[in-house]
Structure 1
Amino acid sequence: MPLPATFDALLFDMDGTLIDSTPCVERIWRQWGAEVEIDVEDLMAHMHGVRGVDTIARFAPHRDLQTEFEKLLQRELTDLDGTVTITGIRERLAELGHVRHAIVTSAPKVIAETRLDYCRLALPPVQVYGEDVAHGKPHPDPYQRGAALLGVAPGNCLAFEDAPNGIRSAKAAGMTVIALATSHSRDELAEADAVIEDWHALRFVPGPDGRVLVAWEAA
């Protein structure tokens, strides 16, 4: 991906992008998978970047969706042990100033707010949560909504993701995507326009017009 490049807005996934809650999330979902007697490893391979309700519906159609969702929701609200920020994200967010940016996450609002507060990260001005769209990632709905709320064309946006389903969602919406290799291998993230290890790889330079220059840190 050729950088530096200028974008009208930046859109960030949450888990694996801003924060890493993998230890607690996988602990909770492994426990749930065992309880409902499904293939836990298959569940782990396909749950990242997808709304919880969609995962439940796919893997446990024999269970009551709302009951299982509420059970998992309560566990994720109370078990935050091991949740940390992704290396370098505080520095990058501090560079944004008045740049238009949003969070686009598959998590419900209450979980997203709880995790970000736990990590002491402020919410961006615009948020898109799992319950805000009819179709979750990998459908383009979440990122299309984010661009609309920001008042920018999707083609002028840069999205940051960590999971194949999230990459597909942003690409289907027409956005450029940089992936972080935090929860998946580089090979699994090949659909992204570029892959980085953490936020130290980039820098953001806001412009007087509200747009942002994104460059490699070494550039």
Structure 2
Amino acid sequence: MSLPAHLPKRFDAIFFDMDGTLIDSTPCVERIWRNWAGEHGIDAEDLIANMHGVRGVDVIRRFAPNADLQTEFEKLLGRELTDMEGTIAIAGIAARLAELEGVRTAIVTSAPRPLAQSKLEYCGLTPPAFMVCAEDVADGKPSPAPYLAGARHFAVDPARALAFEDAPNGVRSAKAAGMTVIALTTSHAADELGEADFLIRDWHDLRFHAEADGSVTVTVAE
């Protein structure tokens, strides 16, 4: 079985969001941000509804504009680095990553690099050689800047690249960069991910076939 007829089947590079796409750390992330919201008198439900797929510094800037940005960022980062209870790998991801040997692959995440590396290692996943993290771009998702940085690194045409996301802001970022986007319904309902080109439940739904030139063919599992 293949992807829908209007979509490419072969791509020159694959880009993965991290949280909600490769791993799920929703329980600890939301616990930490709810506590922080309470400390600052912020509506936690509003914050949670608007934080997924967005850099922490941008969340702080939006919801606590008068707070010391660096102080609050370091406080939250410290909490996330020491509280990963409940963080797990998304079902099927280890098998899919094993199929990508030799393929141009990177992670494009709104997390700071130390946190991204720690979460991946906590879940038993080896970080790829290249990642675009929060500190690597001036503008985070939903800006196209993170995904465009990934495309530049590999010198690939974004139109020949595939991005995997789980959050509306991430989908918008990759689509604005000109990429095909497949979204996982791991953290948001299908109707919230309508801008994606295709939806999957988890990594059992796809298969990758690495090509000799570093590209990859994507098929839907039978």
Classify the TM-score, shorter chain: over 0.9
* TM-score in terms of structure 1 length: 0.98
In the other structure, the counterpart of 1:200 is 204
After superposition, what is the alpha-carbon deviation per residue over 1:108-134, rounded to whole angstroms, capped at 9, x for unaligned? 001001101111101112110000001
Correspondence list, 1:86-165, <5 A: 86-165=90-169
Following superposition, the deviation at residue 4 of structure 1 comes to: 7.1
One-letter code of the match for 1:178? Answer: I
One-letter code of the match for 1:13? Answer: D
| Partner SS state of residue 187, structure 1 | helix
Q: Give me the whole-angstrom Cα distance separating, in 2, the residues matched to 1:95 and 1:28.
A: 34
1:4, 1:215 within 8 Å by CA — same for their partners in 2? no
User: 104-113 or 119-128: which moved more?
Assistant: 119-128
Q: Give me the whole-angstrom Cα distance separating, in 1, the residues matched to 2:14 and 2:191.
A: 24
Q: Give me the whole-angstrom Cα distance separating, in 2, the residues matched to 1:35 and 1:64.
A: 14
- The partner residue of 2:55 within 51, 54, 62 is 51
Q: Give me the whole-angstrom Cα distance separating, in 2, the residues matched to 1:30 and 1:161.
A: 23
Q: Give me the whole-angstrom Cα distance separating, in 1, the residues matched to 2:209 and 2:128.
A: 17
Q: Give me the whole-angstrom Cα distance separating, in 2, the residues matched to 1:21 and 1:161.
A: 15
Correspondence list, 1:57-76, <5 A: 57-76=61-80
Give 5+ residue unaligned stretches, structure 1: none
Q: Give me the whole-angstrom Cα distance separating, in 1, the residues matched to 2:215 and 2:78.
A: 39
After superposition, what is the alpha-carbon deviation per residue over 1:166-185, rounded to whole angstroms, capped at 9, x for unaligned? 00000000000000001100
- The partner residue of 2:82 within 72, 78, 82 is 78
In the other structure, the counterpart of 2:9 is 5
Q: Give me the whole-angstrom Cα distance separating, in 1, the residues matched to 2:77 and 2:34.
A: 14
How many residues align structurally? Answer: 218
| Partner SS state of residue 188, structure 2 | coil
One-letter code of the match for 1:182? Answer: T
Q: Give me the whole-angstrom Cα distance separating, in 2, the residues matched to 1:217 and 1:21.
A: 26
Following superposition, the deviation at residue 209 of structure 1 comes to: 1.8
Q: Give me the whole-angstrom Cα distance separating, in 2, the residues matched to 1:57 and 1:125.
A: 30
Q: Give me the whole-angstrom Cα distance separating, in 2, the residues matched to 1:26 and 1:125.
A: 28
1:23, 1:82 within 8 Å by CA — same for their partners in 2? yes
The reply to whether residue 172 of structure 1 matches residue 173 of structure 2 is no
After superposition, what is the alpha-carbon deviation per residue over 1:12-63, rounded to whole angstroms, capped at 9, x for unaligned? 0000000000000000000000100011100010000000000000000121
| Partner SS state of residue 213, structure 2 | coil
Q: Give me the whole-angstrom Cα distance separating, in 2, the residues matched to 1:91 and 1:150.
A: 24
| 4+ runs deviating over 2 angstroms | 1-4
One-letter code of the match for 1:36? Answer: H
Q: Give me the whole-angstrom Cα distance separating, in 2, the residues matched to 1:144 and 1:127.
A: 12
1:104, 1:146 within 8 Å by CA — same for their partners in 2? yes
